[in-house]
Amino acid sequence: MREATRIIACVMTAVLAVAGTAGAAKEKPLPKELPPYGQDRPLPVPNIVNVGMDNGLTVWVVPRTGFPKVTAILAVRGGTAADPEKLAGTADVLADVVKEGTTRLSSRQIAEELQAVGGEISTNASDDAVYVSVDGLAPGTAKVLEILADVARNAAFPGNEVELAKANTLQGLLARESTPEFAVDKVFSNAVFGAHPYRTVAPTKEAVEALTPQTLLEQYRRRFRPDRALLVVVGDVDAQRTGDTVKRLFGTWKGQGDTAPATPPAPAGGTAQVLVVDRPGSVQSEIRVGRATVKATDPEYFPEIVANTVFGGAFSSRLVENIREDKGYTYSPSSRVSAYEEGGMLRIRAAVRNDVTAGALLEIFYELDRMGATLPTDDELARAKRYQSGLFLLRNSTQGALASTLATNWVNGLPPAALAEFVPKVNSVTAEQVREVGRKLFTSRSQTVVIGGDAKKVAADIVQFGEAKPANP
């Protein structure tokens, strides 16, 4: 997984460099004799063998020859959105500890057994799921699946491991709370999602301190259930033999206790409001602008991601050209759309000097409204499509990334065929669709604004955007 991360980091650097070149093309056009860009090819849907399981577990085995490794990812529904209100955010702690010992093996024994087959285990929690990923050399596939099944079925949450995870989480929380970004992001997420559990950015100190091995075991049993889980196995494996191994290890797995509740639909609209997180003495402002948007299965999702790329989702975007290249207000403004199982979010961020806070916000609003007022140029639309298609293809060039995408798509309600549909759907987006989604989702009058900075220095300047109300994280 670390190797895949390094590859993706290098790829991202290359993509940004290309995007930067595209942005600079306004001043120095590329030579006319250069050949045109080639057509992006869809990512082929791999040969996915669906292993039938009587206990409701969804199993996809994806044989991929050529490199003698295997990656197995178990996705179980129930991330931070499934946390009880008083334990909000603790799915992150659950994910950390679930791999640190079972009723059969200690955390050290797990590591040693995986090391024997060149493997490792990693976990993480998202808003909608907890993921356990194990990889190793292909000849050790049975051992990889054995360890994964043990963690899925028999996690023990040893007291010493729980206390260590709690201590690490609290230290990390202290570090995050010391940054201006954390406070602003927390206020922003709460403002966008209101009472919906997608508002959770991190666990609270009180929630972490309240955790016990028994509490984590109860939360584990609510989520780790075969009828709410997907197992993806990708690598140089024999599908029949791997399917038989899965049936042997996971076939008698049954859910225990109450099931975690399904996530309710997230808010779909945007609320115009201006909130200020006061940081006396700060010499710059952290700006967040955005709103709730659509989930990945919504017909407007692909027009949205293309529109966002034109607006601020790439280094050659309108926002970067405006407030970085032209105005010099900030070094790295950005805009991002996130899609969850039951909703989505648009988030624009920039860090600027106090004296240009209002000016930067004015330009952000100008670019937002321009998305719905004018059509993107042919060049803007083509660059946005190339950027999104190319990034998707590069991100899924490794087997670990492919397994991760399949698992994430499943959590978000997308079938395996979504792999092949991404590039064609991006390329089919029209300029009119971009403008239409601009009118629905990007208009400035539907955006929440959060500014973290010295309120005395910026409040008077931002009053033109609405009544600035104080907010605490």
The residue out of 198, 225, 250 marking a domain boundary is: 250
Whether residues 242 and 280 share a domain: the answer is no
Indicate whether 204 belongs to any domain: yes
Both tokens assigned to 16? 């940004």
* pLDDT tens digit sequence for 344-373: 999 999 999 999 999 999 999 999 999 999
Q: How far is CA 96 from CA 36, 127, 167, 212, in A?
A: 48, 15, 12, 14
Tokens of 368: 């937002």
Q: Strand order in 273-278's β-sheet?
A: 334-339, 344-353, 284-293, 448-453, 273-278, 468-470
pTM: 0.89
Q: Can you give the CATH number for the domain in which 149 is found?
A: 3.30.830.10
Does some domain include residue 231?
yes
Regarding whether 61 and 207 lie in a shared domain, the answer is yes
List, as own/partner pairs, every contact residues 311-314 make where C-beta atoms lie below 8 angstroms and the sequence separation is at least 24, other chains included.
311/335, 311/367, 311/368, 311/371, 311/438, 311/442, 312/348, 312/367, 313/337, 313/384, 313/387, 314/19, 314/383, 314/384, 314/387
DSSP 155: B
Distance of alpha carbon 165 from its chain centroid, rounded?
23
20 pLDDT above the threshold of 50:
no
3-state secondary structure of 365: helix
| Gyration radius of the chain's alpha carbons | 24
- Tell me the two tokens of residue 84: 């009880």
Co-location of 275 and 185 in the same domain: no
pLDDT of residue 261: 87
Half-sphere exposure of 173 (CA within 13 A, CB side): 20
Q: Is 259 a member of any domain?
A: no
Q: Are residues 347 and 451 in the same domain?
A: yes
Q: 198 and 333: one domain? A: no
End position of a domain, from candidates 250, 279, 306: 250
**What is the tens place of the pLDDT at every residue in 80-110?**
999 998 999 899 999 999 999 999 999 999 9
What is the count of structural domains for the chain? 2
Q: Whole domain around residue 203: which residue ranges?
A: 49-250
Whether residue 45 is predicted with pLDDT greater than 60 in this model: the reply is yes
Confidence of residue 16 (pLDDT cuts 50, 70, 90): very low
142 burial via Cβ count (<10 Å: 0-12, 13-18, 19+): middle
In a domain, 32, yes or no: no
Rounded-to-10 torsion of CA 39, 45, 46, 51: 170
Q: Are 379 and 330 a contacting pair, CB within 8 Å?
A: no
Q: Which residues of 260-270 are buried (b: 16+ CB within 10 A; e: fewer)?
A: beebeebbeeb
Q: Is residue 10 in some structural domain? A: no
One domain, residues 243 and 275? no
pLDDT, one tens digit per residue, over 66-77 is 889 999 999 999
Specify whether 208 is located in the same domain as 79: yes
CA distance 256 to 16: 47
- Rounded mean pLDDT of the chain? 92
Residue 255 forms part of a structural domain: no
For residue 132, pLDDT beyond 60 = yes
- Assess whether 278 and 146 both reside in one domain: no
Within a domain: 13: no
Percent of the chain scored above 90 by pLDDT? 83
The gap between the terminal CA atoms of the chain, to the nearest Å, is 34
Question: 85: buried, middle or exposed (CB in 10 Å: 19+, 13-18, 0-12)?
Answer: exposed
Residues 6 or more apart whose Cβ sits within 8 Å of residue 99: 107, 110, 121, 122, 123, 132, 151, 155
Note whether residue 147 is domain-resident.
Answer: yes
pLDDT digits (tens, 9 = 90+) for 180-209: 899 999 999 999 999 999 999 999 999 999
Going across the sheet that includes 69-77, the strands are 49-51, 58-63, 229-235, 69-77, 129-137, 120-125
Sequence-ordered list of residues with C-beta below 8 angstroms from that of 114, at least 6 positions apart, any chain: 120, 121, 134, 136, 143, 144, 147
Same domain, 302 and 330: yes
Cβ count within 10 A of residue 65: 9
Q: Provide the pLDDT for residue 27.
A: 57
Q: Where among 223, 250, 277 does a domain terminate?
A: 250
Residue 261 dihedral angles phi and psi, to the nearest 5°: -65, 150
Question: How many residues does this entry show for the chain?
Answer: 473
Q: What are the beta bridge partners of residue 277? A: 452
Tokens, residue 213: 């091995």
Gap between the Cα atoms of 309 and 318, Å rounded: 9
Give the position of tokens 């670390």: 2
Q: Which is more confidently placed, 214 or 261?
A: 214
d(CA 455, CA 340): 33
**One domain, residues 236 and 287:** no
**Cα maximum dimension of the chain:** 69
Q: Are 239 and 291 in a shared domain?
A: no
327 and 180 in a common domain? no
